[in-house]
Amino acid sequence: MRPAKSKIRKRAPKRRPARGSSKGSLSFSEYKRSLELATEGMVEILDIEKLIRLIVYMIVKKVKLVHAGILLYDETKKFYVLSTSRGRKGSVIPREYIRIEADDVLIKFFKSRKNYSINKSGVIRLDDLNNLLKRKEIGSKEKNFKLSIIKIRDEMINYDVDALVPGYFQKDNLLGVLFLGRKANRNKFHQDELDFFMALARTAVMAIRNAQLYKNIQKIFFGVIQAMALSIEKFDPDFIRPHMDRMFKMAARLVEKLDKRGVVLPDMPRELFLSSIFLHDIGKQYTPKEILYKEGRLTDEDWVILKKHPVDGAEIFEQIDGLQEVAAIIRYHQERYDGTGYPEGLKGDKIPVGARIASVLDTFDAMTNARPYRKIPFTIKDAVKELIKAKSTQLDPNLVDAFIEVLLEEGILLDVELKEICSDSSIERLFNNLVYR
């Protein structure tokens, strides 16, 4: 075991062995019950960081420990790292301060289940190690065993840890180790508490494993999104792909703004939500290039074909279970707020919010970049003028306002330009209805 930084920690002063709970502390049965209740919903939490922070927080708070932390196996780096740590100032071990190789004595000790020979619960308690080392029979045991005990004991003292609780998943797979500092009232951990910690570790491992699997599935999904983006890049590297990238960046900023405003957004991972906006035009790969790149006006027949792209794109995702919301954002991104859009003529809030966001950003991006049918883009000021004009007709007025705020914050639109736009009474006559595609 080695610290990631230089060694700094010293063992706390001598403890006073005491029994029973001191004033203000919860008894074992009290904290056991409240921890059990608190852990019931743990499996539902899919954010690993949040989950392990919660586990450590609950233990420190309920058991009233000076500090605690979780050493978790990092599958990419192939070592165990202190992922979360909490406790009193001066006692808490800094996050990532401890890094342990997978072949470290402690890890090997836990993996070979030698910990069960020290305490039947499987928890390694500092007192048990000290008692064992005092006993004569330890000398007759294999030498390596004694050396391991000494090493683990020294590290526990170094990190001011009273108990180490292993978290196994499957037979010999050690997912992590819970570090428990001493109790604030200096009482020792009793045997029934150790049994309880092992049960708690089992629940925590299940929850962490669940969250890790979920994260892996997400990773695979985002890999698929990247693959789809690549297929679009091959099809149209000049217009659609750069347009998608700009949409993603603007969507991230706008969604952040909406979050701060308390706007209720779909209950889906944020990256997935943004990816849906990113992929809004994926169906255009089925639109003939003669239509996409046509410089002049589109014929009625051309429009019929072009208007298929939202449905073509949505159908890709409708095949995948659980991605109906993604499909809906793609399907409805060409709808208009007043119900005159396509493919279904949905109106107002009936249009999914992700599709309404895509519509605002799409309109802005279409105006501010060159298109085959319009070589010279609008200025930012003119484009914003047009957005304001399209409030309540083509676009959701609240989303337009939020987006203009983003443009101001980013310095893309200047305050003085907005003042000029808003005081311009001839705005209605300046622009014809924008038809973007």
Cβ nearer to Fe ion, comparing 160 with 236: 236
**The two structure tokens encoding residue 162:** 């009273």
Separation of alpha carbons 419 and 40, rounded Å: 55
Of residues 101-120, those binding Fe ion (CB under 5 A) = none
Q: Which of residues 79 and 239 has its CB atom nearest to Fe ion in the complex? A: 239
Comparison of 222 and 248: residue with beta carbon closer to Fe ion: 248
Our CB check for Fe ion shows the closer of 104 and 362 to be 362
Q: Quick one: 86 or 437, whose CB is closer to Fe ion?
A: 437
The yes or no reply on residue 236 touching Fe ion (CB under 5 A) is no
Segment interacting with Fe ion (CB under 5 A) among 164-172, 216-224, 359-367, 406-414:
359-367
Region of 101 please: left (phi>0), alpha (psi -120 to 50) or beta: beta
Stretch that binds Fe ion, among 164-172, 277-285, 287-295, 342-350 (CB under 5 A): 277-285
Six-digit token string for 228? 């789809």
- Binding status of residue 281 toward Fe ion by CB under 5 A: yes
Judged by beta carbon, residue 28 or residue 239, the one nearer Fe ion is 239
Rounded Cα–Cα distance for residues 367 and 386 (Å)? 9
Q: How far is the CB of 225 from Fe ion (least distance, A)?
A: 16
Q: What is the DSSP letter of 49?
A: H
3-state secondary structure of 10: coil
Contacts of 94-99 with CB under 8 Å at 24 or more apart are 94/5, 95/69, 96/4, 97/3, 97/4, 97/5, 98/1, 98/3, 98/4, 98/69, 98/71, 98/159, 99/2, 99/3, 99/4
CA distances to 87, 113, 399, 421 from 61, in Å: 9, 29, 42, 56
Give the tokens for residue 52.
């392990």
Q: Which is nearer to Fe ion, 236 or 362 (CB)?
A: 362
CB of residue 57 to Fe ion, shortest distance in Å: 44
Identify which range of 115-123, 231-239, 280-288, 412-420 contacts Fe ion by CB under 5 A: 280-288
Which C-beta is closer to Fe ion: that of 165 or that of 330? Answer: 330
What is the residue whose two structure tokens read 């669940």? 210
**Number of residues engaging Fe ion in binding (CB under 5 A):** 2
Q: How far apart are the C-alpha atoms of 262 and 410, rounded to whole Å?
A: 20
**For Fe ion, which stretch binds (CB under 5 A), given 4-12, 153-161, 168-176, 276-284?**
276-284
Cβ 243 to Fe ion shortest distance, Å: 6
> Contact region for Fe ion (CB under 5 A) — 230-238, 275-283, 316-324, 396-404?
275-283
| Contact string (CB under 5 A) for Fe ion, positions 252-271, x = contact | --------------------
Which stretch in 120-128, 187-195, 274-282, 388-396 sits in contact with Fe ion by CB under 5 A?
Answer: 274-282
Tell me if 193 contacts Fe ion by CB under 5 A: no
Indicate the SS3 state at residue 341.
coil
Instruction: Report the nearest approach of Fe ion to the CB of residue 330 (Å).
Output: 9
Q: How does strand 173-180 pair with strand 163-169?
A: antiparallel
Residue number with CB closer to Fe ion (362 or 396): 362
> Would the CA dihedral through 263, 266, 271, 274 be positive or negative?
negative
Judged by CB under 5 A, the residue of 128, 155, 193, 362 near Fe ion is: 362
Cβ proximity of 148 and 103 under 8 Å: no
Write out the residues near Fe ion by the rule CB under 5 A: 281, 362
